[in-house]
Chains A and B, each alone.
Chain A
């Protein structure tokens, strides 16, 4: 119970910190943290699949990109769209594609599942890349950002910051509730031993399909936020690079923990900013991918449980070394 309370306190403090951050940050800081929170929502969507259900999806960017493109394509050319209908439609578009992809790809397992999800994401990528629908490689601009009547104008950076934070908190809360419900426990069982779940009486396919669709909808939400923030979409939002990046975020943070997705998104984005900084690295900053890659390799090697497991690992070292660890095997 104490551990649960500690985790809750940690997350609550993070959200309070994020809520207070604009009071001390400048325009750049607000913009950066808005972007990171968008990535955190995106990472949470993948955490539901990889960390909670054991489905390694390598096409998550497709749902992110569809949410982003839907935001631009469904908005009127010059006037702001109403948030009340635009946001649900963007999430529905991404969830609908996830439903189709999931219905077919979940009939495969392991590496085949990874490849099939990648293939579906690449199909979506080439639809926006090679057709007038997506504006080709140039992408499309969002001319007016959505509003909620006179209450909320997402064109204002601080309003967008607050809205993104609210979306992140709601997504986190929703997934936390979902994972402790019967549905969530069934997903955990599927991840641990799908054969046993079937033998017990669970038809696992509908569970996995539901998780896949929900995950697609949440990725669509993050795509919406990204399109609103940047006011621009291009095919790179659906590329496999982004699918890989979000996978790295959740691995870096620690698989199997919602907190891990949050921490991973922040760590990944901040590392990216760090290695891209010319003030620190000078001309070498243009090789930022090298530094980022080496840091991620080192993190995965040294922190097998991710950043979320650092404290536990330290405690084990200090208290009793390897001897204190008990093996938990079937």
Chain B
């Protein structure tokens, strides 16, 4: 295991869309055992930042380091195989597959072997146990044979996390995992995130402020693509700049 607790490091990340600067020189460190939340109003650049860190879009400037390696030029699949898991703001599960197959397919990414065309995927000695473990960890084991499209909204969000876990990531980038959840589902998801925290570095983009302040160890506040504060939850809560720009001065 690496000594450096910082598993993902973004430096001066900038993304321009023509004349618009969606993300402006943002630097961020994600440490193992910590949840780092990114908050901001709609259009602040949070999702663009997560897309750049995961490799879905290239930055106009800046660098991304994963486990000490510069991965700025790496494709998204390569970063994912190197230990970067992400979930999306909207559900991106495979609705017609069972919960098990959703997890198994995600786990298959680390043992692809596509040339073994005669060997059935559901007997894969690597992805099958990994899928069971991921589903168990996300609390979905009783629902393994259910088509994913028939799950409740909260269960679908849990499945998103399970699919991330099935790839055995070290860093989790979670884009609004609590979106649309009720109080009970939110509590269950926060308990899951708290449990996952120990072995992973987690970036949490979230609008639910109560949840963010309950779970985050560090919070970055973005406004119009720039970071206006990056500190502990307590310091962010009392920051006059944050209060005026984001929390409405209350």
| A residues lining the B interface (CB < 8 Å) | 177-178, 180-186, 188-189, 192-193, 195-196, 198-204, 207, 210, 326-330
- Interchain CA distance A329-B78 in the complex, whole Å: 29
Please give, as numbers and ranges, the residues of chain B lying within 8 Å of A182 by CB-CB distance: 108, 111-114, 116, 119, 121, 124, 127
Interface contact B149-A178, CB-CB below 8 Å: no
Sample (21) of A-B pairs whose CB atoms are under 8 Å apart: A178-B117, A180-B121, A180-B122, A181-B116, A181-B121, A182-B111, A182-B119, A185-B101, A185-B108, A185-B121, A189-B105, A193-B92, A193-B93, A195-B88, A198-B76, A200-B106, A200-B167, A201-B77, A202-B77, A210-B114, A328-B96
Are B117 and A177 in touch, CB under 8 angstroms?
A: yes
- Known contacts: A189-B105, A199-B56, A329-B149. The answer to whether A181 contacts B94 by CB under 8 A is no
Docked complex Cα distance between A185 and B111 (Å): 13
Q: What is the size, in residues, of chain B's interface with A at 8 Å between Cβ atoms?
A: 46
Interface contact tally, CB-CB below 8 A? 110
B81 on the A face (CB < 8 A): yes
CB of B110 closer than 8 Å to a CB of A: yes
In the complex, what residue of chain A is closest to B119 when comparing beta carbons?
A181
Residues of B within 8 A of A200 (CB): 77, 80, 105-106, 109, 163, 167
A328 to B95, CA, bound (A): 6
Q: Given that A189-B105, A330-B156 are known contacts, is A201 also in contact with B110, CB under 8 Å in the complex?
A: yes
Complex-state Cα separation, A192 to B93, whole angstroms: 9
B101 to chain A: which residues have CB within 8 Å? Answer: 185
Contact with A along B112-143 (1 / 0, CB 8 A): 11111111111010010000000000000000
Q: Which residues from chain B sit less than 8 Å from chain A, CB to CB?
A: 54, 56, 75-78, 80-81, 86, 88, 90-97, 101, 104-106, 108-122, 124, 127, 147-150, 156, 163, 167
CB of A211 to closest CB in B, whole Å: 10
A196–B115 Cα gap in the complex (Å)? 22
A186 in contact with B95 given A181-B118, A199-B76, A199-B86 (CB within 8 Å): no
A180 to chain B, nearest CB (A): 5
Residues of A within 8 A of B105 (CB): 185-186, 188-189, 200
Instruction: State the CA gap A181–B117 with chains docked (Å).
Output: 5
Distance between Cα atoms of A175 and B124 in the complex (Å): 19
CB nearest to A180 among chain B residues: B120
Return chain B residues, CB-CB under 8 Å to A183: 114-117
